[in-house]
Amino acid sequence: MTIRHHLSEDILMAYAAGDLPEAFALVVATHVSLCDECRARSEAFDALGGAVVEDIVAEMASTSLEACMARIGTMPQANGRAPRRSNGILPAPLVDYVGGGLGAVKWRPLGLGARQAILQTSDSGASVRLLAIPGGVAMPDHSHNGLELTLVLQGAFRDANDRFGRGDIEIADDNVEHTPVAEAGQVCICLAATQGPLKFNALLPRLAQTFFRI
Amino acid sequence: MLLPPDTGVVRKGKTRLAEDIEQTDWAALVMAVRDHQDREAFASLFRHFAPRVKGFLMKSGASATLAEECAQDVMATLWQKANMFDPSRASVATWVFTIARNRRIDALRKARRPEPEDLPWGPEPEPDQADAYEAQQDTERLGKALAQLPKKQRELIDRAYFSDLSHSEIAAETGLPLGTIKSRIRLALDRLRSQMDVKARKE
Protein backbone atom coordinates (compact mmCIF):
# COMPACT_ATOMS: atom_id res chain seq x y z
CA MET A 1 0.00 0.00 0.00
CA THR A 2 1.47 3.31 -1.02
CA ILE A 3 0.04 6.28 0.79
CA ARG A 4 0.29 9.45 -1.25
CA HIS A 5 -1.80 11.88 0.75
CA HIS A 6 -0.56 12.57 4.26
CA LEU A 7 -1.46 14.66 7.30
CA SER A 8 -0.22 18.24 7.42
CA GLU A 9 2.28 19.45 9.95
CA ASP A 10 -0.15 21.70 11.81
CA ILE A 11 -2.64 18.87 12.26
CA LEU A 12 0.08 16.52 13.55
CA MET A 13 1.33 19.20 15.94
CA ALA A 14 -2.18 19.88 17.24
CA TYR A 15 -2.66 16.11 17.73
CA ALA A 16 0.59 15.87 19.71
CA ALA A 17 -0.36 18.91 21.77
CA GLY A 18 -3.74 17.35 22.54
CA ASP A 19 -5.56 20.24 20.94
CA LEU A 20 -7.69 18.44 18.37
CA PRO A 21 -11.36 17.72 18.93
CA GLU A 22 -11.84 14.00 19.50
CA ALA A 23 -13.44 13.46 16.06
CA PHE A 24 -10.37 14.77 14.23
CA ALA A 25 -8.03 13.01 16.63
CA LEU A 26 -9.75 9.72 15.71
CA VAL A 27 -9.08 10.27 12.01
CA VAL A 28 -5.46 11.21 12.78
CA ALA A 29 -4.94 8.14 14.99
CA THR A 30 -6.48 5.92 12.29
CA HIS A 31 -4.29 7.36 9.54
CA VAL A 32 -1.18 7.11 11.72
CA SER A 33 -2.03 3.45 12.30
CA LEU A 34 -1.77 2.90 8.54
CA CYS A 35 1.06 5.30 7.72
CA ASP A 36 4.55 4.79 9.12
CA GLU A 37 5.72 8.12 7.80
CA CYS A 38 3.04 10.07 9.68
CA ARG A 39 3.61 7.89 12.76
CA ALA A 40 7.25 8.95 12.79
CA ARG A 41 6.35 12.62 12.31
CA SER A 42 3.71 12.36 15.02
CA GLU A 43 6.23 10.86 17.46
CA ALA A 44 8.67 13.66 16.63
CA PHE A 45 6.02 16.15 17.75
CA ASP A 46 5.57 14.15 20.97
CA ALA A 47 9.32 14.45 21.50
CA LEU A 48 9.08 18.20 20.95
CA GLY A 49 6.38 18.28 23.64
CA GLY A 50 8.71 16.37 25.97
CA ALA A 51 11.48 18.90 25.38
CA VAL A 52 9.14 21.87 25.86
CA VAL A 53 7.88 20.48 29.17
CA GLU A 54 11.43 19.82 30.43
CA ASP A 55 11.88 23.53 30.70
CA ILE A 56 8.99 24.52 32.96
CA VAL A 57 8.60 23.71 36.64
CA ALA A 58 6.00 24.45 39.29
CA GLU A 59 6.79 23.54 42.86
CA MET A 60 4.93 20.53 44.18
CA ALA A 61 3.30 20.59 47.61
CA SER A 62 5.72 19.45 50.33
CA THR A 63 3.66 16.32 51.06
CA SER A 64 3.06 15.24 47.50
CA LEU A 65 5.82 12.69 47.09
CA GLU A 66 4.69 11.03 50.29
CA ALA A 67 1.06 11.09 49.18
CA CYS A 68 1.98 9.60 45.82
CA MET A 69 4.12 6.92 47.46
CA ALA A 70 1.18 5.97 49.65
CA ARG A 71 -1.00 5.71 46.56
CA ILE A 72 1.31 3.56 44.55
CA GLY A 73 1.81 1.33 47.58
CA THR A 74 -1.74 0.08 47.03
CA MET A 75 -1.56 -0.10 43.26
CA PRO A 76 -0.81 -3.17 41.22
CA GLN A 77 1.52 -2.61 38.31
CA ALA A 78 -0.02 -3.34 34.95
CA ASN A 79 0.97 -6.73 33.56
CA GLY A 80 1.10 -5.60 30.00
CA ARG A 81 -2.02 -5.62 27.97
CA ALA A 82 -3.03 -7.31 24.78
CA PRO A 83 -1.82 -5.16 21.91
CA ARG A 84 -4.62 -3.31 20.17
CA ARG A 85 -5.04 -4.78 16.72
CA SER A 86 -6.94 -4.01 13.57
CA ASN A 87 -10.07 -5.92 12.65
CA GLY A 88 -10.29 -6.46 8.89
CA ILE A 89 -10.06 -3.08 7.22
CA LEU A 90 -10.63 -1.18 10.48
CA PRO A 91 -7.45 -0.11 12.30
CA ALA A 92 -7.47 -0.45 16.10
CA PRO A 93 -8.53 3.11 17.03
CA LEU A 94 -11.61 2.66 14.88
CA VAL A 95 -12.32 -0.80 16.28
CA ASP A 96 -12.52 0.90 19.71
CA TYR A 97 -15.23 3.28 18.50
CA VAL A 98 -17.20 0.81 16.38
CA GLY A 99 -17.03 -1.89 19.01
CA GLY A 100 -15.76 -4.49 16.55
CA GLY A 101 -15.03 -4.92 12.86
CA LEU A 102 -16.99 -3.81 9.83
CA GLY A 103 -19.81 -6.20 10.76
CA ALA A 104 -20.47 -4.23 13.96
CA VAL A 105 -21.04 -0.92 12.14
CA LYS A 106 -24.60 0.36 12.50
CA TRP A 107 -25.19 1.70 9.02
CA ARG A 108 -28.02 4.07 8.09
CA PRO A 109 -29.07 4.58 4.47
CA LEU A 110 -28.29 7.91 2.83
CA GLY A 111 -29.89 7.28 -0.56
CA LEU A 112 -28.42 6.03 -3.87
CA GLY A 113 -27.06 3.04 -2.03
CA ALA A 114 -24.78 5.14 0.16
CA ARG A 115 -24.72 4.54 3.91
CA GLN A 116 -23.30 6.27 6.95
CA ALA A 117 -22.70 5.54 10.62
CA ILE A 118 -22.05 8.41 13.00
CA LEU A 119 -19.55 7.51 15.72
CA GLN A 120 -20.05 8.83 19.24
CA THR A 121 -17.47 11.24 20.57
CA SER A 122 -17.56 13.03 23.88
CA ASP A 123 -16.74 16.58 22.87
CA SER A 124 -18.89 18.69 20.63
CA GLY A 125 -16.26 20.42 18.51
CA ALA A 126 -16.60 18.12 15.55
CA SER A 127 -18.34 14.97 14.40
CA VAL A 128 -17.04 11.83 12.76
CA ARG A 129 -18.73 9.22 10.62
CA LEU A 130 -18.07 6.18 8.50
CA LEU A 131 -19.31 6.43 4.94
CA ALA A 132 -19.89 3.61 2.48
CA ILE A 133 -20.34 4.80 -1.10
CA PRO A 134 -21.01 2.39 -3.98
CA GLY A 135 -18.65 2.61 -6.95
CA GLY A 136 -19.52 5.46 -9.33
CA VAL A 137 -21.69 7.31 -6.79
CA ALA A 138 -20.82 10.81 -5.58
CA MET A 139 -20.28 11.54 -1.90
CA PRO A 140 -23.61 12.64 -0.45
CA ASP A 141 -24.26 16.29 0.39
CA HIS A 142 -20.80 17.51 0.67
CA SER A 143 -21.08 21.01 2.01
CA HIS A 144 -19.20 21.63 5.22
CA ASN A 145 -18.48 24.68 7.29
CA GLY A 146 -14.91 24.13 8.08
CA LEU A 147 -12.18 21.61 8.11
CA GLU A 148 -13.00 18.14 6.87
CA LEU A 149 -10.65 15.18 7.02
CA THR A 150 -11.53 12.15 4.93
CA LEU A 151 -9.56 8.92 5.23
CA VAL A 152 -10.08 6.05 2.78
CA LEU A 153 -10.31 2.59 4.35
CA GLN A 154 -11.45 0.57 1.35
CA GLY A 155 -11.83 1.25 -2.37
CA ALA A 156 -10.99 4.71 -3.65
CA PHE A 157 -12.51 8.03 -4.60
CA ARG A 158 -11.53 10.70 -7.05
CA ASP A 159 -12.06 14.39 -7.15
CA ALA A 160 -11.18 16.77 -9.98
CA ASN A 161 -7.42 16.44 -9.54
CA ASP A 162 -6.59 13.40 -7.51
CA ARG A 163 -7.21 9.83 -6.55
CA PHE A 164 -7.46 8.74 -2.91
CA GLY A 165 -6.97 5.07 -2.03
CA ARG A 166 -6.68 3.13 1.21
CA GLY A 167 -4.73 5.11 3.80
CA ASP A 168 -4.87 8.37 1.87
CA ILE A 169 -6.23 11.37 3.68
CA GLU A 170 -7.95 14.32 2.06
CA ILE A 171 -7.77 17.61 3.94
CA ALA A 172 -10.45 20.00 2.74
CA ASP A 173 -11.84 23.27 3.92
CA ASP A 174 -14.85 25.09 2.61
CA ASN A 175 -12.73 26.97 0.12
CA VAL A 176 -12.20 23.74 -1.70
CA GLU A 177 -14.94 23.07 -4.22
CA HIS A 178 -14.89 19.35 -4.62
CA THR A 179 -17.25 16.61 -5.56
CA PRO A 180 -15.58 13.34 -4.68
CA VAL A 181 -16.91 10.32 -6.56
CA ALA A 182 -16.29 6.73 -5.53
CA GLU A 183 -14.25 4.84 -8.09
CA ALA A 184 -16.03 2.08 -9.99
CA GLY A 185 -15.61 -1.32 -8.36
CA GLN A 186 -15.43 -1.96 -4.64
CA VAL A 187 -17.66 0.02 -2.28
CA CYS A 188 -15.62 2.96 -1.04
CA ILE A 189 -15.50 3.09 2.77
CA CYS A 190 -14.20 6.28 4.37
CA LEU A 191 -13.86 7.80 7.78
CA ALA A 192 -14.75 11.49 7.70
CA ALA A 193 -14.56 14.11 10.43
CA THR A 194 -16.19 17.50 10.04
CA GLN A 195 -16.14 20.61 12.09
CA GLY A 196 -19.26 20.84 14.22
CA PRO A 197 -21.80 23.38 13.07
CA LEU A 198 -22.44 24.91 16.48
CA LYS A 199 -19.17 25.28 18.22
CA PHE A 200 -16.13 26.24 16.30
CA ASN A 201 -13.29 24.64 18.11
CA ALA A 202 -10.48 26.89 17.05
CA LEU A 203 -7.73 24.46 17.76
CA LEU A 204 -6.80 23.86 14.21
CA PRO A 205 -4.54 26.76 13.81
CA ARG A 206 -4.08 27.81 10.30
CA LEU A 207 -7.05 26.12 8.91
CA ALA A 208 -9.20 28.14 11.24
CA GLN A 209 -7.73 31.21 9.76
CA THR A 210 -8.51 30.13 6.27
CA PHE A 211 -12.15 29.51 6.92
CA PHE A 212 -13.04 32.42 9.06
CA ARG A 213 -10.68 34.96 7.64
CA ILE A 214 -9.98 36.27 11.08
CA MET B 1 -11.53 28.17 39.25
CA LEU B 2 -8.73 29.08 36.92
CA LEU B 3 -5.66 30.87 38.10
CA PRO B 4 -3.68 32.99 35.68
CA PRO B 5 -1.57 30.46 33.81
CA ASP B 6 1.70 31.96 34.97
CA THR B 7 1.17 31.74 38.71
CA GLY B 8 3.85 29.77 40.43
CA VAL B 9 5.38 28.50 37.26
CA VAL B 10 8.94 29.39 36.51
CA ARG B 11 10.95 28.77 33.44
CA LYS B 12 14.09 26.94 34.33
CA GLY B 13 15.88 27.89 31.16
CA LYS B 14 19.56 28.42 31.55
CA THR B 15 19.52 28.03 35.31
CA ARG B 16 18.87 24.33 35.15
CA LEU B 17 21.74 22.17 36.22
CA ALA B 18 23.46 20.48 33.37
CA GLU B 19 23.88 17.21 35.24
CA ASP B 20 20.23 17.22 36.21
CA ILE B 21 19.13 16.52 32.68
CA GLU B 22 22.24 15.26 30.98
CA GLN B 23 23.70 12.79 33.40
CA THR B 24 20.69 11.01 34.82
CA ASP B 25 19.69 7.87 32.99
CA TRP B 26 15.96 8.30 33.44
CA ALA B 27 15.15 5.22 31.39
CA ALA B 28 17.21 3.07 33.76
CA LEU B 29 15.18 4.44 36.66
CA VAL B 30 11.92 3.53 34.93
CA MET B 31 13.30 0.03 34.31
CA ALA B 32 14.13 -0.21 38.04
CA VAL B 33 10.54 0.74 38.83
CA ARG B 34 9.32 -1.85 36.35
CA ASP B 35 11.58 -4.71 37.44
CA HIS B 36 12.01 -4.11 41.17
CA GLN B 37 9.24 -1.69 42.17
CA ASP B 38 12.19 0.45 43.22
CA ARG B 39 10.83 3.30 45.34
CA GLU B 40 14.10 5.21 45.42
CA ALA B 41 14.14 5.27 41.64
CA PHE B 42 10.50 6.35 41.63
CA ALA B 43 11.25 9.18 44.08
CA SER B 44 14.02 10.48 41.78
CA LEU B 45 11.66 10.38 38.80
CA PHE B 46 8.99 12.10 40.85
CA ARG B 47 11.29 14.91 41.98
CA HIS B 48 12.32 15.65 38.43
CA PHE B 49 9.13 15.12 36.46
CA ALA B 50 6.24 15.93 38.82
CA PRO B 51 7.07 19.67 38.99
CA ARG B 52 7.32 19.76 35.20
CA VAL B 53 3.97 18.05 34.75
CA LYS B 54 2.44 20.45 37.24
CA GLY B 55 3.95 23.42 35.41
CA PHE B 56 2.64 22.07 32.11
CA LEU B 57 -0.87 21.69 33.48
CA MET B 58 -0.90 25.13 35.07
CA LYS B 59 0.36 26.68 31.86
CA SER B 60 -2.55 24.89 30.19
CA GLY B 61 -5.05 26.63 32.43
CA ALA B 62 -5.45 24.19 35.35
CA SER B 63 -5.62 25.62 38.86
CA ALA B 64 -2.69 24.87 41.17
CA THR B 65 -4.85 22.39 43.07
CA LEU B 66 -6.00 20.53 39.97
CA ALA B 67 -2.49 20.58 38.51
CA GLU B 68 -1.03 19.14 41.73
CA GLU B 69 -3.61 16.36 41.77
CA CYS B 70 -3.13 15.54 38.09
CA ALA B 71 0.67 15.58 38.41
CA GLN B 72 0.35 12.94 41.12
CA ASP B 73 -1.98 10.94 38.86
CA VAL B 74 0.52 11.15 36.03
CA MET B 75 3.35 9.93 38.26
CA ALA B 76 1.19 7.12 39.61
CA THR B 77 0.46 6.14 36.00
CA LEU B 78 4.21 6.05 35.36
CA TRP B 79 4.50 3.56 38.24
CA GLN B 80 1.63 1.45 36.99
CA LYS B 81 2.55 1.42 33.33
CA ALA B 82 6.32 1.21 33.63
CA ASN B 83 6.22 -2.01 31.61
CA MET B 84 4.66 -0.18 28.68
CA PHE B 85 7.49 2.28 28.41
CA ASP B 86 9.78 1.57 25.48
CA PRO B 87 13.04 3.46 25.96
CA SER B 88 14.21 2.59 22.46
CA ARG B 89 11.31 4.58 21.01
CA ALA B 90 10.97 7.57 23.33
CA SER B 91 12.79 9.34 26.12
CA VAL B 92 11.21 9.36 29.58
CA ALA B 93 10.52 13.09 29.12
CA THR B 94 8.55 12.34 25.95
CA TRP B 95 6.67 9.48 27.58
CA VAL B 96 5.76 11.55 30.61
CA PHE B 97 4.63 14.36 28.34
CA THR B 98 2.24 12.02 26.51
CA ILE B 99 0.76 10.75 29.79
CA ALA B 100 0.38 14.33 31.05
CA ARG B 101 -1.18 15.47 27.80
CA ASN B 102 -3.74 12.68 27.92
CA ARG B 103 -4.52 13.48 31.54
CA ARG B 104 -5.03 17.11 30.54
CA ILE B 105 -7.47 16.22 27.76
CA ASP B 106 -9.40 14.14 30.26
CA ALA B 107 -9.32 16.74 33.06
CA LEU B 108 -9.91 19.92 31.09
CA ARG B 109 -11.98 18.76 28.16
CA LYS B 110 -13.61 15.60 29.47
CA ALA B 111 -12.73 13.90 26.21
CA ARG B 112 -10.51 11.00 25.31
CA ARG B 113 -7.66 10.88 22.91
CA PRO B 114 -7.79 8.16 20.29
CA GLU B 115 -4.38 6.48 20.14
CA PRO B 116 -2.82 4.83 17.08
CA GLU B 117 -2.69 1.08 16.78
CA ASP B 118 0.17 -0.61 18.60
CA LEU B 119 3.14 -1.46 16.49
CA PRO B 120 3.51 -5.16 15.72
CA TRP B 121 6.35 -5.30 18.22
CA GLY B 122 5.96 -4.17 21.82
CA PRO B 123 8.57 -2.98 24.31
CA GLU B 124 11.49 -5.41 24.57
CA PRO B 125 12.27 -6.76 28.05
CA GLU B 126 15.88 -5.72 27.46
CA PRO B 127 15.72 -2.60 25.33
CA ASP B 128 18.59 -1.75 23.06
CA GLN B 129 20.91 0.51 25.04
CA ALA B 130 22.08 2.46 22.00
CA ASP B 131 18.51 3.20 20.93
CA ALA B 132 17.56 4.25 24.45
CA TYR B 133 20.56 6.52 24.64
CA GLU B 134 19.68 8.00 21.28
CA ALA B 135 16.09 8.73 22.37
CA GLN B 136 17.30 10.61 25.44
CA GLN B 137 19.88 12.44 23.33
CA ASP B 138 17.15 13.55 20.96
CA THR B 139 15.24 15.14 23.82
CA GLU B 140 18.38 16.92 24.95
CA ARG B 141 19.19 18.11 21.45
CA LEU B 142 15.66 19.34 21.04
CA GLY B 143 15.92 21.17 24.36
CA LYS B 144 19.12 22.89 23.24
CA ALA B 145 17.66 23.74 19.86
CA LEU B 146 14.57 25.18 21.57
CA ALA B 147 16.77 27.28 23.83
CA GLN B 148 18.43 28.77 20.77
CA LEU B 149 15.22 29.82 19.09
CA PRO B 150 14.50 33.54 19.02
CA LYS B 151 12.32 34.35 22.02
CA LYS B 152 9.22 35.10 20.00
CA GLN B 153 9.34 31.85 18.09
CA ARG B 154 9.96 29.94 21.29
CA GLU B 155 6.94 31.51 22.91
CA LEU B 156 4.70 30.43 20.07
CA ILE B 157 5.92 26.83 20.27
CA ASP B 158 5.31 26.85 24.03
CA ARG B 159 1.83 28.16 23.55
CA ALA B 160 1.02 25.57 20.93
CA TYR B 161 1.80 22.87 23.52
CA PHE B 162 0.76 24.44 26.76
CA SER B 163 -2.52 25.95 26.14
CA ASP B 164 -5.88 25.06 24.90
CA LEU B 165 -5.74 28.46 23.26
CA SER B 166 -6.55 28.65 19.60
CA HIS B 167 -4.26 30.64 17.41
CA SER B 168 -6.88 33.36 17.20
CA GLU B 169 -6.83 33.58 20.97
CA ILE B 170 -3.05 33.71 20.89
CA ALA B 171 -3.38 36.51 18.37
CA ALA B 172 -5.68 38.41 20.71
CA GLU B 173 -3.19 37.95 23.52
CA THR B 174 -0.02 38.78 21.64
CA GLY B 175 -1.52 41.27 19.22
CA LEU B 176 0.08 39.45 16.29
CA PRO B 177 -1.89 38.86 13.12
CA LEU B 178 -2.62 35.19 12.56
CA GLY B 179 -0.61 35.16 9.35
CA THR B 180 2.45 36.16 11.36
CA ILE B 181 1.82 33.49 13.97
CA LYS B 182 1.56 30.74 11.44
CA SER B 183 4.69 31.79 9.60
CA ARG B 184 6.62 32.10 12.87
CA ILE B 185 5.64 28.62 13.96
CA ARG B 186 6.68 27.29 10.57
CA LEU B 187 9.99 29.13 10.83
CA ALA B 188 10.56 27.83 14.36
CA LEU B 189 10.01 24.24 13.22
CA ASP B 190 12.39 24.73 10.30
CA ARG B 191 15.04 26.10 12.64
CA LEU B 192 14.59 23.24 15.06
CA ARG B 193 15.06 20.81 12.21
CA SER B 194 18.24 22.38 10.99
CA GLN B 195 19.59 22.63 14.56
CA MET B 196 18.86 18.96 15.07
CA ASP B 197 20.68 18.11 11.85
CA VAL B 198 23.74 20.15 12.78
CA LYS B 199 23.89 18.73 16.31
CA ALA B 200 23.37 15.16 15.16
CA ARG B 201 26.27 15.53 12.73
CA LYS B 202 28.56 17.03 15.35
CA GLU B 203 28.00 14.24 17.85
Cα–Cα distance, A20 to B62 (Å, whole number): 18
Predicted local distance difference test score (pLDDT) of residue B14: 43
Predicted local distance difference test score (pLDDT) of residue A197: 47
At A143, the pLDDT band (50, 70, 90 cuts) reads: low
Cβ separation A69–B43 shorter than 8 A: yes
Cβ separation B90–A43 shorter than 8 A: yes
- For B4-42, how does the pLDDT look when each residue is reduced to its tens digit (9 = 90+)? 344 456 555 444 444 444 568 999 999 999 999 999 999
Cβ separation A39–B116 shorter than 8 A: yes
Cβ separation A51–B11 shorter than 8 A: no
- For B135-182, how does the pLDDT look when each residue is reduced to its tens digit (9 = 90+)? 888 888 888 889 998 888 888 888 888 865 555 565 666 777 667 777
Predicted local distance difference test score (pLDDT) of residue A77: 80
Q: In this model, does residue A212 exceed pLDDT 60?
A: no
Cα–Cα distance, B27 to B29 (Å, whole number): 5
A155-169, B85-99, B121-135: least confident range: B121-135
Q: Cα–Cα distances in Å, from A88 out to A92, A101, A103, A154, A166?
A: 10, 6, 10, 10, 13
Q: In this complex, is the C-beta atom of B198 within 8 Å of any C-beta atom belonging to chain A?
A: no
Question: In terms of CA atoms, which chain A residue is nearest residue B8?
Answer: A58
- For A24-55, how does the pLDDT look when each residue is reduced to its tens digit (9 = 90+)? 999 999 999 999 999 999 999 999 999 999 98
Cα–Cα distance, B191 to B157 (Å, whole number): 12
| In chain A, % of residues over pLDDT 70 | 85
Question: In terms of CA atoms, which chain B residue is nearest residue A68?
Answer: B72
- Per residue in A73-99, is it b (16+ CB within 10 Å) or e — as a string? eeeeeeeeeeeeebeeebbbbbbbbbe
What number is the ipTM of this complex? 0.86
* Closest approach of A212 to chain B, Cα-based (Å): 10
Taking 3-state DSSP, the helix, strand and coil percentages for chain A, each rounded to the nearest 5, stand at 30, 25, 45
- For B57-66, how does the pLDDT look when each residue is reduced to its tens digit (9 = 90+)? 998 888 999 9
Predicted local distance difference test score (pLDDT) of residue A78: 77
Predicted local distance difference test score (pLDDT) of residue A206: 41
- For A98-112, how does the pLDDT look when each residue is reduced to its tens digit (9 = 90+)? 999 999 999 998 888
